Amino acid sequence: MNFNIAVAGNPNCGKTTIFNALTGAKQRVGNWPGVTVEKKSGHYNQSDHKFDVIDLPGTYSLAAFSAEETVVRQYLENDEADVVVNIIDASNLERNLFLTTQLIELGKPLVLVLNMMDMANEKGLQIDVDTLATLLGAPVVPVVGRTGEGIDLLKEKILRVSTEISMKARLIDICYPRDLEIEIDKLHQLIQVNDVTDKHSRWTSIKLLESDKQTRDEVRLHSNGTDILDQAKISVGRIEGLFKDTGRAIISSARYGFIQGAMRECVVESLVDSVDYSRQIDRVLTNRWLGLPIFGLFMWLMFKLTYDIGSIPMDWIDRGLVALMNFISDLLPDSMFASLLVDGVIGGVGAIAVFLPNIFILFLIIAVLEDSGYMARVAFIMDRVMHNIGLHGKAFIPMIMGFGCNVPAIMGTRILESRRDRILTVLINPFMSCSARLPVYVLVAGAFFPENAATVIFSMYILGIVAAIGSGKLFSRTILKGMSKPFVLELPPYQRPTLRSLVLHTWERGYLFIQKMGTVILVGSVIIWVLGYFPTEVELDRDYGSERTTLTLEYDSQFIALESKFKKSVDQDRSGYHSEMIVYESSSSYLELLEQYQLLKKELSSEKNQQLSSLRQQEIGDITEQKWIGRVGKIFEPIVRPLGFTWRESVALITGFVAKEIVVSTYGVLFGVGEDVDEGSQGVISGLRSSGMTPLVALSFLVFTLLYTPCLATVAAIRRETGTWAYTLFSIAYSLGLAYSLAFAVSYFGRMFNWLS
Amino acid sequence: MFNFKRPRHKLHISDENDLRLSDLKPGEKGRITEIGGSENFRHRLIEMGLTRDAEICVDKYAPLRDPMELIVKGYHLSLRGMDAEKIAVERIV
């Protein structure tokens, strides 16, 4: 038979570790329909039965506060699960049991798992497992998830609860104070009379006393819904009058009352002096004076590891791609298909594939930070700063990561719990100047501000941060207003991460990136290739073919002239040569003449080659102007003219949409230096200078490059993490608008005050 | 920083006994007497174990003075000063 097993529990209770131990590596990660909450599922077999396991998001309650809570509640109320496995952190029993009381009331067959028993013992807690099981009316299995101790017993229990009817009906009721019970009973009976199909009518009654909106909406649809709601109103009024609080607060407090009673009966706290290691570590890591410097050091290490270690396999991938491109070019005849494959697909996707090592290393480090418990401390340390922009302290990590590459940074926003925080962080992240923008700064700043290049580049980074902070403040006061949640953050005990969970975490997130390369980025690269390839036949104003012939002929005649001049001087020299000891061809004067001639010939031929390649490059520039991409550039020229840009800047910016560093190679093509330019290339620098670009326009171009629509990979990441095209398109439009306005402001005020002209 | 100038969050409690969680120093303990603020905020705190009469200990403040680290029901929890100010406590010695 097939059984659906749902794993539920608080955040930080070790739920995922148990899930991994149950299912092994056979996992699938997806999203819950309609929300960007990760849905993890897996399965295992036991005694001819198949168990499909769902790892529900970690929640403290089932109040439907957050997207996660709504998901868990809907899943459990919809009767999809046959058995609920509730993971409980034994070292934090009291608060963990709060969720358990709600799971009991939902009436599902339940298996309780006391995880982290070792830590509970270290804390000096002795838990009477049998008494707890009796009190809660469900089997209790003590385990240590990290070592796998007790997992077999857990599987055994799940099997029995799934297959043996006698195991199912043992759930007890959570006892509330008498006055509450009276009102619960009234509603309970009313519901049972009206609707016998409701399987968890006691749960419904309690939720009605809490004035839970979702439950009220459901009850309203019942045949006698209004009667029930009328009674609920009376009951709520009575208990609120009696206890002087809201229904929900009363019920929640009563749950804790029940839990305290249970704790008294089955937990013995020994008086031995136990050492709270976690607190000792925090004495240093979140210390008043040391906390910030240590955090800074960790951030620096994260950067260093990501980009330094990442650059090694990056190099291999790069070389592999070049080899692959050469191989295919040699294999296939020069055709449209070959160009599509080599320049479009491999070139485009490859430009982003080289970031794979960086991304995997970064995700591994994040997994370490998360699994160890340090991530919560990051939020603790940085909250004061991030709160200013209306964000949660944890949002600091993706922001810093943005300096490296916005793609993993945006994917890293998954560490944030609230959707509003995630969207806000995603929207402002592209303003953090990523490493792909640096080559553009170096090229342009080097060409126009050779004296102050470093200052100009640094101010670009500062401008990016200012834009991010400003936009964050703006968004949190306008489009993302009021969705903010209070900062209530648990600081879980530190733990040594397990290798298995690190590998799984890293792979899950990295795989999403690979998936994206195969789809959005592939399509985008092909589109840019099409724009650059068609039309295949272009009409040029200049006849490059004949110019090339003329040039060649001109040089050929110069070669002939040079040779005859050489012969003439040799003849002259020979007639004045008298020695009979040495033949003339070995004489020093002849050798001197020969050397001179060879030198001149060499100079001439290199001059010829230079002229020819310059002509060729002008031709490429002219051809590009005629291609669709050049025409698109021309179309946009009037729009960017107020900024002082020409069609060249327009083309460079359009291609920069695929990946910002492409701006540099596009300039290479446009100024006919070839594609293999680096940011120090003299050809491009002199091209830029002679194109009529002023330092002011250069500055405005840099501002535009920093702020405008992030690259294709980033757009794809935004689409993925926000889950809607609306925010994606908004992000594109907003950044374009901001880039345009600020670039315009630079050139407008610059002209007004005659700066840098 | 500017918490000082803002009027305090209004609670039902009488003025003479007005001690808030945010007034406690590291190492000091209190018992919760009332939680103010929005419904959602109050409910969230109660669900996290900050019920009336619950004992709460201020462990420390973050390096930048905000938020603060608390110990409640045997686990560590962090709250911002502006939120801790909505929680009335009586000092336990």
d(CA A572, CA A586): 16
**Cβ(A376)–Cβ(B62) below 8 Å:** no
Closest-CA distance, A62 to chain B, in angstroms, reads: 10
Is there a domain that residue B39 lies in? yes
B7 within some domain: no
Q: Quick check: B83 and A487 CB within 8 A?
A: yes
More confident: A297 or A352: A297
What pLDDT, in 10s, does the model give residues A707-735?
998 888 899 889 988 888 999 999 999 99
Res A370 pLDDT > 90: no
Q: How confident is the model at residue A237 (pLDDT cuts 50, 70, 90)?
A: very high
Nearest chain B CA: its distance from A208 CA (Å): 16
Question: Which among A94, A246, A379 is the nearest to B49, CB-wise?
Answer: A94
Q: Do B47 and A252 touch (CB under 8 A)?
A: yes
DSSP line for A690-755 = HTT--HHHHHHHHHHHHHS---HHHHHHHHHHH-SHHHHHHHHHHHHHHHHHHHHHHHHHHHHTT-
Residue A688 banded pLDDT, cuts 50, 70, 90 = confident
For residue B59, tell me if it sits in a domain. Answer: yes
Q: Which residues of A167-190 are buried (b: 16+ CB within 10 A; e: fewer)?
A: bbeebeebebeeebeebbebbbeb
Mean pLDDT computed over A485-502: 87
Report the length, in residues, of chain B: 93
Q: What is the pLDDT of residue B87?
A: 94
Q: Which helix (H) or strand (E) holds A53?
A: strand A49-55
Q: Which residue of A has its CA nearest to B72?
A: A95
Q: Contact B73/A387, CB-based, under 8 Å? A: no
Kindly list the distances between the CA atom of residue A205 and the CA atoms of A69, A196, A212, A213, B93, in Å, as whole numbers in the listed order: 19, 14, 10, 13, 41
pLDDT at A275: 72
Query: Of A573 and B64, which is predicted with more confidence?
Result: B64
Chain A residues whose beta carbon lies within 8 Å of the beta carbon of residue B45: 488
- Using the Cβ of A486 and the Cβ atoms of chain B, whether some distance falls under 8 Å is answered with yes
Could you tell me the two tokens for A458? 């640094």
8 Å CB contact between A259 and A104: no
> Would you say A204 and A242 are in contact if contact means Cβ atoms under 8 Å apart?
no
pLDDT given at position A667:
77
B43–A246 C-beta distance less than 8 A:
yes
Find the closest chain B residue to A249 by CA distance: B43
Q: Is the pLDDT of residue A486 over 80?
A: no
Question: Closest chain A residue to B62 measured between Cα atoms?
Answer: A381
Higher model confidence: residue A716 or residue A755? Answer: A716
**Which secondary-structure segment (H or E) carries A186?**
helix A178-194
Q: What is the pLDDT of residue A655?
A: 83
B11 domain residue, yes or no: no
pLDDT recorded at residue B5: 47
At residue A196's C-alpha, the angle toward residues A107 and A235, to 5°, is: 75
**Which residues have CB under 8 Å from A435's CB, separation 6+?**
A307, A403, A404, A405
In the chain, the amino acid numbered A69 is: E
Q: Which two tokens stand for residue A453?
A: 């290049």
Give B54's contacts (C-beta < 8 A, 6+ positions apart): A256, B31, B32, B72, B73
Q: Which residues of B touch A385 (CB under 8 A)?
A: 64
Distance of CA A580 to the CA centre of its chain: 85
How far apart are the C-alpha atoms of A221 and A486, rounded to whole Å? 33
Q: Tell me the mean pLDDT in the region A658-674.
A: 72
pLDDT band for position B93 (cuts 50, 70, 90):
confident
Q: Band of the pLDDT at A2, cuts 50, 70, 90?
A: very high
**How would you class A109 by CB atoms within 10 Å of its CB: exposed for 0-12, middle for 13-18, buried for 19 or more?**
buried
Of the partner residues A60, A292, A380, the one whose CB lies closest to the CB of residue B47: A60
pLDDT in the model for residue A90: 94
Give the C-alpha separation, A144 to B48, whole Å: 24
CA atoms within 13 A on the CB side of A113: 34
Which pLDDT value is given to residue A171?
A: 67
Going by their DSSP bridges, the two strands B29-35 and B87-92 should be labelled as antiparallel
Residue A125's closest CA among A91, A169, A94? A91
Select from B40, B46, B63 the Cβ nearest to the Cβ of A288. B63
- The reply to whether A383 touches chain B by the CB within 8 Å rule is yes
Averaged confidence pLDDT in chain A: 86
Average pLDDT over residues A290-294: 94
pLDDT digits (tens, 9 = 90+) for A3-32: 999 999 998 898 988 999 999 877 777 777
Peptide bond into A535 cis (omega under 30): yes
For tokens 């009817």, the residue is A165
Residue A55 pairs with which residues in a beta bridge? A7, A40
Rounded CA-CA distance A258/A260 in Å is 5
Q: How do residues A138-194 score in pLDDT, each as one tens digit? A: 999 999 988 889 999 999 999 999 988 766 656 688 889 999 999 999 999 888 887
B38 in any annotated domain:
yes
- CATH number of the domain at B51, please: 2.30.30.90
Please tell me the predicted confidence (pLDDT) of residue A736: 95
User: Residue A535: how many CA atoms within 13 Å on its side-chain side?
Assistant: 6
- B47 occurs within a structural domain: yes
pLDDT class for B2, splitting at 50, 70, 90? Answer: very low
Q: Is A287 left (phi over 0), alpha (psi -120 to 50) or beta?
A: beta
The set of residues, in sequence order, having a beta carbon less than 8 Å from that of A502 and lying 6+ positions away, is A364, A367, A368, A371
The percent of residues in chain B predicted with pLDDT above 90, rounded, is 66
Range in A290-304, A654-668, B31-45 with the lowest mean pLDDT = A654-668
Work out the percent of chain A whose per-residue pLDDT is above 70. 94
* Residue located via tokens 């993490």: A721
Q: Measured at the alpha carbon of residue A163, what is the angle toward residues A158 and A168, in degrees to the nearest 5?
A: 75
Mean pLDDT (whole number) for A246-273: 90
Which residues, 6 or more positions from A441, have their beta carbon under 8 angstroms from its beta carbon? A456, A457, A460, A702, A705
Residue-wise pLDDT tens digits, A51-95: 999 999 899 999 877 778 888 998 998 878 999 999 999 999 999
Residue B40 lies in a domain: yes
Using a pLDDT cut of 90, give the percent of chain A over it: 37
Helices (H), A627-711: 628-640, 647-655, 662-670, 682-690, 695-707
Asked if pLDDT for residue A119 goes beyond 70, the answer is yes
pLDDT of residue A234: 94
Nearest-CA neighbor of A391 among A279, A480, A457? A480
- Is residue A441 predicted with pLDDT exceeding 60? yes
Q: Quote the number of domains for chain B.
A: 1
Q: What average pLDDT does the segment A440-466 reach? A: 88
Q: How far apart are CA A406 and CA A702, in angstroms?
A: 18
Mutation target for B interface from A59, A66, A252, A394: give the one with most B CBs within 10 A: A252
Label each residue of A385-452 as H, E or C: HHHCCCCCHHHHHHHHHCCCCHHHHHHHHHHCCCHHHHHHHHHHHHHCCCHHHHHHHHHHHHHHCCCC
Span of A220-229, A418-427, A583-592, A617-626 with lowest mean pLDDT: A617-626
Nearest to B44 among A288, A384, A486 (CB): A486
A144: amino acid identity, one letter: V
What confidence score (pLDDT) does residue A332 get? 85
Q: Name the packing angle between helices A588-626 and A662-670 (round to 10°).
A: 110
Q: Closest Cα of chain A to B44: distance in Å?
A: 8
Per-residue pLDDT reduced to its tens digit, A309-331: 887 888 898 889 889 988 988 88
Q: Is the pLDDT of residue B28 over 70?
A: yes
DSSP SS3 for A520: helix
Query: pLDDT class for A536, splitting at 50, 70, 90?
Result: confident
Whether residue B39 and residue A246 make contact (CB cut-off 8 A), yes or no, is yes
CB A624 within 8 A of CB A667: no
The two structure tokens encoding residue A201: 């009518």
Residue A426 has pLDDT above 80, yes or no: yes
Q: Is the pLDDT reported for residue A542 higher than 90?
A: no
Rounded CA separation A105/B49 (Å):
19
Q: Rounded to a whole number, what is the distance in Å from the CA of A630 to chain B's nearest CA?
A: 53
Residue B65 lies in a domain: yes
Neighbours of A48 (CB within 10 A): 6
pLDDT the model gives residue A728 = 95
A75-79, A120-124, A663-667 — which is least confidently predicted?
A663-667
The answer to whether residue A111 scores a pLDDT higher than 70 is yes
The identity of residue A631, as a single letter, is R
Integer Cα distance of A44 and A6 in angstroms: 13
Chain B contact for A485 (CB, 8 A cutoff): yes
Q: Is residue A608 less than 8 Å (CB to CB) from chain B?
A: no
User: What's residue A196's pLDDT?
Assistant: 55
Q: Which two tokens stand for residue A236?
A: 């709520």
**pLDDT value of residue B1:** 41
Closest of A141, A159, A174, A151 to residue A48, by C-alpha: A159
Tokens, residue A737: 């608008």
Residue that is written with structure tokens 């950044």 in the block? A735
State the complex-level ipTM: 0.91
Domain span including residue B70: 20-92
